[in-house]
Structure 1
Amino acid sequence: MELTILAVPDCPNAPLLRERLAEALARQHAPAVTSHVVTDAEQAERLGMHGSPTLLINGSDPFTEPGQPASLSCRLFRDMDGAVSGAPSVDQLRRALSGG
């Protein structure tokens, strides 16, 4: 499994995503996580960044909405209860990592 975090410089939510991802991976053999700092719209488009931070699993963003354009903007996520956060919840990450 290939995991990549895409974020703009100094994204305040990238550390939260890394923390939650580490927790989601704690019970399994954790693959390496690659991070890329994205500085312009062309990079965002080419890499598939739909806001900062974006997690790519094997090159795909499991949290994007159909038709959502590439973006350098701050990204927000809703959990199952509708609460807004700067990163997916640990449970959402576990589901995405398991392909569900």
Structure 2
Amino acid sequence: MVERACPPAQSPPETAGESIMGNMNIELLIVPGCPHERAAARLLRTAMDEVGLGSVDFRTVTVADPETAERIGFAGSPTFSVDGMDLFQDPSRSTALACRLYRHSGGLAGVPDLDDLRTALRATTGL
């Protein structure tokens, strides 16, 4: 696995999210060459900023082999994770080193809807 830290765009004053969730492990899991990596990273940063996690970093982690995918329960790229929990967990989905699709009102897309990601972050973090 390859990891890269993704700091906040700016350093705002401490927020409620930071004081409560400062040690939270937020990750964007991708496969090498994921065509949705940039859009997913921007979406995650936006959602985090909007739910009060603006000063919290997230890491981008590249999942490059089937053994790692199986060990962490990787359901495809991109996957949004908080403390090892897939924010869009689907028990019927198997592990895969492949692109992941998210349901939108207009069909399927390579990243989730911003509202859905905000809701998932709030539910997971308690914000």
- TM-score, normalising length: structure 2: 0.71
Q: Distance in 2 between matches of 1:29 and 1:96?
A: 13
Match of 1:62 among 70, 81, 87: 87
Alignment of 1:30-69 (within 5 A): 30=54, 31-69=56-94
- How far off is 1:82 after superposition? 4.2
RCO (CA 8 Å, sep 6+): is it higher in 1 or 2? 1
1:15 aligns to 2:38 (yes or no): yes
* RMSD over equivalenced CA pairs, Å: 1.5
Q: Which residue of 2 aligns with 1:84?
A: 108
Q: Sequence identity of aligned pairs in percent? A: 36
Q: Distance in 2 between matches of 1:6 and 1:65?
A: 16
Q: Which residue of 2 aligns with 1:3?
A: 26
Q: What SS class does the counterpart of residue 67 from structure 2 fall into?
A: helix
Q: What SS class does the counterpart of residue 87 from structure 2 fall into?
A: coil
Q: Distance in 1 between matches of 2:115 and 2:45?
A: 12
Aligned residues: 99
Structure number, greater radius of gyration: 2
Q: Distance in 2 between matches of 1:55 and 1:26?
A: 15
Whether the 8 Å CA contact 1:11–1:53 is kept in 2: the answer is: yes
Whether the 8 Å CA contact 1:48–1:60 is kept in 2: the answer is: no
Structure 1 unpaired stretches of 5+ = none
Which piece of structure 1 moves more, 20-29 or 34-43? 20-29
Structure 2 unpaired stretches of 5+ = 1-23
Q: What stretches of structure 1 move > 4 A for 4+ residues in a row?
A: none
